[in-house]
Amino acid sequence: MKRRAFLAGMAALSAAPAHARELSWVATHGHAGFLTAQLYPGAGLTLHPEGLTENIVALTFDDGPDTAYDPEIRRILRAYGVPATYFLVGRNAQRHARLAGEIAQDGHEIGNHTWSHRRLIHCTPEEQAIELRRTNALLETVTGRPTRWFRPPFGSYDDHTLGIARAAGLETILWTVDSQDYRDHPPAVIEERVMRGLTPGAVVLMHSNHAGTVAALPRILERAKDERFRFVTLTEWKAQMERAAA
């Protein structure tokens, strides 16, 4: 009976449309506001950044680990005493497992960015589940820690994705500031895009596989410090946001 129910469930998932409706505000607008549905979809937390008692910012890096640029990003973060959250692609972490482990050992938080960086609205629910669970298993093996956070590639998700992430023990988070470093803008342009968007509670999107990110990062960290911002991991960001909403 259980086997028949399981097979029936898998058949239903496989039959779901492969090109589902886009539900992500970020995927269509570029960045989120401080609305739970836009930034932290599926969470039971109402965001009140105006209630924060200090100017926290969550700095996040997608698409690694990357052997060309991550070592220098790690060095810069270490020099400035800044923690970050890295959303790693599973197949990259498998290929560069030692580097993934070193990023975690530096004290940075590790998030799930799917196995193969597919746009999830083009995947069946079954394929989405495989992307997340396979990556979770690999990251826990490499880092020795369970993974808490998930960011869908391109910020894109459909009406199945959030539930699949929750079933895998993951919370979905997007961003309020898009550096657009992936467009290979000059470092000064990346720097200004980030600094214009910095507000208390901001979540900054960068990528650890672009040269412009490395070049822009020191000035971003210096200017943010001068403006009294403090960088935190996403787990601390959530704790502070919970206190702000209390």
* Active-site amino acid positions: 62, 207
141 Cβ neighbours under 8 A, 6+ residues apart = none
Instruction: Note the residue count of the chain.
Output: 246
Distance of CA 30 to CAs 35, 37, 141, 244, Å?
14, 14, 33, 26
d(CA 128, CA 63): 17
236 Cβ neighbours under 8 A, 6+ residues apart = 56, 58, 83
227 Cβ neighbours under 8 A, 6+ residues apart = 55, 198
Nearest to 192 by CA among 175, 212, 174: 212
Residue with tokens 């070592």: 71
Nearest to 108 by CA among 138, 160, 145: 145
